Amino acid sequence: MFKPLAAETVGTFWLVFGGCGSAVLAAGFPEVGIGLLGVSLAFGLTVLTMAYAIGHVSGCHLNPAVSVGLAVAGRFPASRLPAYVGAQVLGGALGAGVLYLIASGTAGFEIGGFAANGYAEHSPGGYSLTAALIAEIVLTFMFLFVILGATDKRAPAGFAPIAIGLGLTLIHLVGIPVTNLSVNPARSTGPALIVGGWALGQLWAFWVAPIVGAALAGAVYPAVAGPEE
């Protein structure tokens, strides 16, 4: 069990450090940075690269919601959920911590939102809690639907990481203006621990909504696709 948990920790570290790092360090640098498209692509690339690197070790979940969705779909033992979630949250916290050490090493550093997820006044577009919950549920549902389909034994072998990485890129393009996009409680927890205050106060939404969306996808996909052969 050590190797899969270590892989999940390293992989989630990479997701948070790479994805949130692109937002914190490069999105607006120096005056015209990589922007929404660049940050979205960065998140997709973290999952794509790690899927090839550790998919054979741990399944490359990198996300408590993914683990829950796979468990509901019968693809992952529910007994392993607590350990996987713990490893993912640890990796997310470490990724955010290392990112903070780097980001704070420049003159005039202000923590700001630090890529934390939020709603209402802390939503990039000022979206309400209701809008944020709907977006996170629907986008997580679709992300898990893509994961379940791409990793189905009947799907073309070897291409799943590409579909999953591009799927994550797409949902970031939609969701960043609403909540900075979570679809991943571990990704949300890391920056929230650094920001504190409002980010911790709103963190519940970015645990509840992704898990609900993932669980729904875990139930719906097998009903749509039928049993694997």
Whether the model pTM is above 0.85: yes
Nearest to 64 by CA among 177, 195, 205, 214: 214
Query: What is the domain-level CATH number for residue 54?
Result: 1.20.1080.10
CA distance 48 to 188: 19
From first CA to last CA, the distance across the chain in angstroms is 28
Work out how many domains the chain is built from and give that number. 1
Q: Are 12 and 95 in contact (CB under 8 A)?
A: yes
Rg of the Cα trace of the chain? 17
Give the pLDDT of the chain (229 residues) as one tens digit per residue.
899 999 999 999 999 999 999 999 998 777 778 999 999 999 999 999 999 999 999 999 999 999 999 999 999 999 999 999 999 999 999 999 999 999 999 988 889 899 999 999 999 999 999 999 999 999 999 999 999 999 999 888 889 999 999 999 999 999 999 999 999 999 999 999 999 999 999 999 999 999 999 999 999 999 998 887 6
In angstroms, the Cα distances linking 84 to 62, 114, 162, 179 are: 9, 25, 23, 25
Domain range enclosing 65 = 2-225
